[in-house]
Amino acid sequence: MDDNPRPEADVPTAHFLAELRREGYTMALYVAICLLGALLALPEDDVRPHSLQVVWGVTVGLAIAHWFAFRLSSQLVSAGAYRRSDVRLATAQLLGAAAVAGLSTVVILIFPERLEILAIELLLGGFVAVVAFVAARGGGTSRIRASLYALILLLLSVGLALLKNWLAGY
């Protein structure tokens, strides 16, 4: 198994740059959805004192598992080779994951402890909604339809967070 990236052209094409963005956004969405799910599943009293550890633990765990799977699948489809483009794609994915954890960390630092979990859940739901809006607009839908699509996803995300808090008695 060759651990050294194979040389390729140093100038990425427009198609490859779009692929880098897609990989970064995909990983950011994946981490946001998984992190939201973890926060909704765990009892808030268990999470609140350890919110930074939960955010970064889930993010790093997902990133490591994804990196492992990405590296293995890259070698599988490239006859054992690991190319420079694979390193760039993996870097974009890790940056997407780190961006979500970084935004969540800012929320933890800004909000009082009693509100930080709800604030993170709202941030993650809002992040998914913003990406939905941008994706819908990129697909050619009108601002109104894209806004409705994003609003529905935001309401679903917020609804889950509020339902969780209501069921927990908060």
Question: How confident is the model over 19-66, as pLDDT tens digits?
Answer: 888 889 889 988 998 888 888 877 877 777 889 999 999 999 999 998
Cβ pair 104, 27 in contact under 8 A: no
Which pLDDT does position 114 carry in this prediction? 87
Residues whose CB falls within 8 Å of the CB of residue 134, separated by 6 or more in sequence, listed in order: none
Overall number of domains in the chain: 1
In the block, tokens 């990236």 appear at 5
Residue 105 covered by a domain? yes
The answer to whether residue 7 is domain-embedded is no
Q: What is the pLDDT of residues 53-94, one digit of tens each?
A: 999 999 999 999 988 888 888 888 877 666 788 888 889 999
Distance CA 63, CA 58 (A): 8
Q: What domain range includes position 91? A: 14-167
**pTM score:** 0.77
Location of structure tokens 């990133």: 63
Would residue 150 count as lying in a domain? yes
pLDDT at 124 exceeding the cut of 80: yes
Answer yes or no: are the C-beta atoms of 84 and 3 closer than 8 Å: no
Is 1 within the bounds of a domain?
no
Task: Say how far apart CA 32 and CA 26 lie, in whole Å.
Answer: 10
Among 84, 89, 153, 86, CA closest to 124: 153
pLDDT at 82: 67
pLDDT in tens, 89-119: 889 999 999 999 999 999 999 999 889 988 9
Which residue, 122, 104, 133, is CA-closest to 158? 122
